[in-house]
């Protein structure tokens, strides 16, 4: 009898706190709200991760820039998705083996990771195809929120990015982390005031906590959940092999079925945690993401998303 009462009490408390989490937790105060996020500055409409792309996206009215960074041999934090330069420049060298001044230009025909078989072809002007320094991006856009994926588990990279964030006084306008939990923990340790992503391990934990009813009781240090629709993972070329082992496919599907729950997103939003979906490039996908309760969408096509949002007045 006592046992039933305890279980009943636990379930009831869990349900109430799931719905009204601020009864227990202080709501996180992220300083910005972004529906429109330009992935690598909009890789489908400009040369990815360049100043040219970032300027264009901001001119269109993007609310956040998403970018990736690496460290050059001479210790500069450079904005690039890949460590190896073959895909982006045609030169089979690693960024960490070159000084910043020796980095080659981006290829004029640049493959787009999330649009297999599509290339971005822009101008022949060299300055449009130069690798950007993180410092220059911070300098140019002091008030635009920036989402940084720390690409390498490298203490020097993390500490340099952390110094730049501090120097440009943009802790509250920056989100950082990585799928890897080790990298994300290091980021948090180096500066807990910067907005933080959920690593893959923490996403898995989120699922466990949700389905056991424990989630509403547990404090969370992260401010941003960034996830993908399963169709994206299965479409993607590049980093992840296009041919999936059946087990891998199964795991991805399962995680997504368990994770993509509007009630979870509502709970997180009530706690002040933002939910972004990446990388969506079509109107149907934008719609699906916002219908599911996303707070923001990352896209390679800032113009398309801008138009979608304009035609889709949201509350």
Ligand X SMILES: *[C@@H]1O[C@H](CO)[C@@H](O)[C@H](O)[C@H]1NC(C)=O
The neighbouring-strand residues paired with 226 are 276
- Residue 214 Cβ, how far from ligand X at the closest point, in Å? 26
Interaction of residue 93 with ligand X, rule CB under 6 A = yes
Stretch that binds ligand X, among 4-12, 115-123, 144-152, 260-268 (CB under 6 A): 144-152
Stretch that binds ligand X, among 114-122, 150-158, 160-168, 241-249 (CB under 6 A): 150-158
- Residue 151 Cβ, how far from ligand X at the closest point, in Å? 5
Q: Which residues contact 150 (CB under 8 A, 6 or more apart)?
A: 69, 157, 158, 161, 176, 177, 178, 183, 187
Interaction of residue 224 with ligand X, rule CB under 6 A = no
Q: Between 186 and 271, whose beta carbon lies closer to ligand X?
A: 186
Interaction of residue 151 with ligand X, rule CB under 6 A = yes
Interaction of residue 256 with ligand X, rule CB under 6 A = no
Q: How many CB atoms lie within 10 A of CB 154?
A: 15
**CA neighbor of 308 nearest in space, from 287, 292, 280, 279:** 287
Q: Is 258 exposed, middle or buried (0-12, 13-18, 19+ CB in 10 A)?
A: middle
Q: Residue 211 and residue 188: Cα distance in Å, rounded?
A: 26
Interaction of residue 84 with ligand X, rule CB under 6 A = yes
Residue of this chain nearest to ligand X (CB atom): 179
Q: Between 52 and 184, whose beta carbon lies closer to ligand X?
A: 184
Q: Between 63 and 96, whose beta carbon lies closer to ligand X?
A: 96
Mapped onto helix, strand or coil, the DSSP state of residue 43 is coil
Q: Which of 7, 61, 90, 153 binds ligand X (CB under 6 A)?
A: 153
Q: Residue 237 and residue 259: Cα distance in Å, rounded?
A: 23
- Say if CB 143 and CB 62 are below 8 A apart: no
Size of the site for ligand X (CB under 6 A): 13
- Residue 113 Cβ, how far from ligand X at the closest point, in Å? 10
Sites for ligand X among residues 166-185 (CB under 6 A): 178-180
Stretch that binds ligand X, among 39-47, 114-122, 137-145, 148-156 (CB under 6 A): 148-156
Q: Between 74 and 139, whose beta carbon lies closer to ligand X?
A: 74
- Residue 239 Cβ, how far from ligand X at the closest point, in Å? 5
Q: Which residues contact 66 (CB under 8 A, 6 or more apart)?
A: 37, 38, 39, 40, 41, 146, 147, 149, 278, 298
Mapped onto helix, strand or coil, the DSSP state of residue 81 is coil
Torsion of CA 250, 252, 253, 255, to 10 degrees: 120
Q: Between 17 and 279, whose beta carbon lies closer to ligand X?
A: 279
Q: Which of 5, 92, 124, 291 binds ligand X (CB under 6 A)?
A: 92
Q: Between 18 and 198, whose beta carbon lies closer to ligand X?
A: 198
The neighbouring-strand residues paired with 296 are 276
Interaction of residue 45 with ligand X, rule CB under 6 A = no
Interaction of residue 135 with ligand X, rule CB under 6 A = no
Q: How many CB atoms lie within 10 A of CB 8?
A: 10
Residues within the interface to ligand X (CB under 6 A):
84, 92-94, 97, 149, 151-153, 178-180, 239
């Amino acid at each position: 009898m006592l046992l039933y009462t305890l279980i009943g009490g636990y379930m009831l408390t869990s349900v109430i706190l799931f719905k009204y989490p601020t009864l227990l937790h202080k709501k996180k105060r992220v300083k910005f709200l972004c529906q429109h996020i330009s992935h690598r500055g909009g890789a489908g409409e400009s040369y990815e991760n360049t100043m040219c792309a970032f300027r264009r996206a901001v001119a269109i009215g993007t609310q956040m820039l998403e970018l990736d960074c690496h460290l050059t041999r001479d210790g500069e934090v450079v904005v690039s998705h890949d460590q190896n330069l073959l895909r982006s420049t045609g030169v089979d060298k690693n960024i960490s083996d070159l000084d910043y001044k020796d980095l080659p230009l981006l290829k004029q025909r640049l493959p787009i990771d999330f649009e297999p078989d599509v290339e971005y072809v822009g101008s022949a002007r060299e300055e449009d195809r130069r690798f950007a320094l993180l410092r220059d991006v911070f300098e140019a856009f002091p008030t635009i929120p920036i989402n940084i994926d720390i690409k390498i588990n490298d203490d020097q990279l993390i500490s340099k990015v952390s110094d730049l964030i501090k120097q440009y006084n943009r802790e509250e306008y920056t989100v950082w982390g990585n799928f890897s939990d080790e990298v994300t923990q290091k980021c948090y340790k180096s500066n807990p005031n910067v907005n933080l992503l959920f690593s893959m391990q923490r996403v898995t934990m989120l699922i466990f906590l949700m389905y056991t009813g424990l989630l509403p009781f547990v404090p969370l240090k992260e401010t941003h959940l960034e996830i993908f629709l399963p169709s994206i993972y299965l479409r993607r070329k590049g980093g992840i092999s296009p041919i999936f082992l059946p087990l891998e496919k199964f795991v991805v599907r399962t995680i997504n079925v368990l994770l993509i729950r509007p009630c979870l997103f509502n709970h997180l939003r009530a706690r002040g945690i933002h939910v972004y979906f990446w990388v969506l490039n079509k109107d149907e996908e934008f719609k699906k993401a916002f219908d599911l309760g996303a707070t923001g969408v990352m896209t390679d096509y800032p113009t398309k998303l801008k138009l979608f949002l304009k035609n889709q007045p949201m509350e």
